[in-house]
Amino acid sequence: MTPGAGDALIVIDMQRDFLPGGSLAVPAGDRILAAVNRCLDLFSWAHLPVYASRDWHPPGHCSFQPQGGPWPPHCVAGSPGAAFAEGLHLPPGVTVVSKATQDTVDAYSAFGGTDLASRLAAATVKRLFVVGLATDYCVLHTVLDALEGGFEVVVLGDAIAAVDVAPGDGERAIARMRQAGASVADSAALWPGARSGPQPAGPV
């Protein structure tokens, strides 16, 4: 499970508005920060590519309740709430992917209306490790699009958190991602020498 050539990490929407205190806070959003940072540190240390998506909405975005959308206004481009989480260990070479930047289009997936797919292809990425927010929206749809795009996908289960508008949404999203072909692992399994399952580590 240790990341190597052809692997990349994508951090989904670790923005202040999605963390406790923000306008669209994911209840346990701050509890995953340490695990997300562990993943970031590992990919930085291994000199592997890191991508960070962000909601980057205009002030009158269609997903906002005043415009008839489902969500309170959040992640308005350039606002403090749209900034990445304080203490997030993004490496200097991170590729930032801004999504849903137009009034009339929303995008849960980091592939939606962005150049992420071509950037990953240019970097010859084959396997994507996915962390961030929220399990039942942007993580889910990014993972489904990545699988459809032919990537191998590993979701780090301790480094994602759900909105859970309906109880169980997060669990159902994880089941959907598994069914679609993603594997789910613990971030601790990524470190060299870590055992990735219950079976003893075999010869490599």
Choosing from 17, 55, 158, 164, the residue that interacts with Zn ion (CB under 5 A) is 55
Part in contact with Zn ion (CB under 5 A); list of ranges 3-11, 28-36, 49-57, 173-181: 49-57
- Catalytic position from the list 39, 75, 138, 145: 138
Q: Least Å distance between CB 120 and Zn ion?
A: 22
138 is catalytic: yes
- State which residue, 96 or 175, has the beta carbon closest to Zn ion: 96
From CA 6, how far away is CA 145, in angstroms rounded? 18
Q: What b/e sequence results for 17-54 when a residue is b if at least 16 CB atoms lie within 10 Å of its CB, and e otherwise? A: bbbeebbbbbebbbebbebbbbbbebbbeeebbbbbbb
Taking each helix axis as running N to C, give the angle between helix 169-179 and helix 140-148, from 0 to 180 degrees, rounded to the nearest 10.
10
CA–CA gap between residue 49 and residue 24 (Å, rounded): 29
# residues contacting Zn ion (CB under 5 A): 1
Q: Which residues, 70 to 129, sit near Zn ion by CB under 5 A?
A: none
CB 104 within 8 A of CB 140: no
Instruction: With contacts defined by CB under 5 A, name the span among 30-38, 55-63, 84-92, 111-119 that binds Zn ion.
Output: 55-63
Residue 162 CA to residue 141 CA, distance in Å, equals: 13
Structure tokens at 67: 């415009």
Is 99 an active-site residue? yes
User: If we measure between CA atoms, which residue out of 69, 143, 135 comes closest to residue 103?
Assistant: 69
Q: Which of residues 150-169 bind Zn ion (CB under 5 A)?
A: none
Catalytic residue among 7, 17, 99, 106: 99
Nearer to Zn ion, 55 or 145 (CB): 55
CB of 179 to Zn ion, least distance (A): 25
Q: What's the min distance (Å) between Cβ of 142 and Zn ion?
A: 13
Per rule CB under 5 A, is residue 136 in the interface with Zn ion? no
Q: How far is the CB of 57 from Zn ion (least distance, A)?
A: 6
CA distance 29 to 25: 7
From residue 140, how far is each of 74, 155, 166, 171 by CA, in Å?
19, 10, 15, 11
User: Is 62 in the active site?
Assistant: no
Contacts to Zn ion by CB under 5 A: 55
Residues that are catalytic: 13, 99, 138
